């Protein structure tokens, strides 16, 4: 039989994997959005009034990626802390 600590570590490990997969998939999708925004900027040079919208897309994309990175780091730290307890 597994001890409750071992079972908790296994659950934490599985959750860490799910979170890592989730954040990786979201970051990949956000990278595609950013790439599309860069393409739009290069294709719409005759429409400079759209640059503020493209900048907003890129700023939000960077912000979301940073939040995901911070979220993933906090989950990793919690998992590591849980393993030593």
pLDDT (0 to 100) of residue 12: 86
> Has residue 85 got a pLDDT over 60?
no
Give residue 81's pLDDT band: very low, low, confident or very high (50, 70, 90): very low
Neighbour-count burial for 23-56, b at 16+ CB within 10 Å, e otherwise: beebeeebeeebeebeeebeeeeeeeeeeeebee
pLDDT digits (tens, 9 = 90+) for 17-52: 888 888 889 999 999 999 999 999 999 999 999 999
What value does the mean pLDDT of the chain take? 85
Q: Which two tokens stand for residue 77?
A: 């730290």
């Amino acid at each position: 039989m597994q001890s409750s600590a071992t079972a908790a570590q296994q659950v934490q490990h599985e959750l860490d994997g799910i979170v890592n997969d989730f954040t990786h998939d979201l970051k990949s999708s956000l990278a595609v959005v950013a790439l599309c925004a860069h393409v739009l900027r290069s294709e719409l040079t005759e429409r400079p009034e759209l640059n503020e919208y493209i900048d907003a897309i890129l700023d939000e994309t960077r912000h979301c990626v940073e939040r995901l990175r911070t979220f993933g780091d906090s989950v990793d730290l919690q998992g590591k802390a849980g393993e030593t307890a």
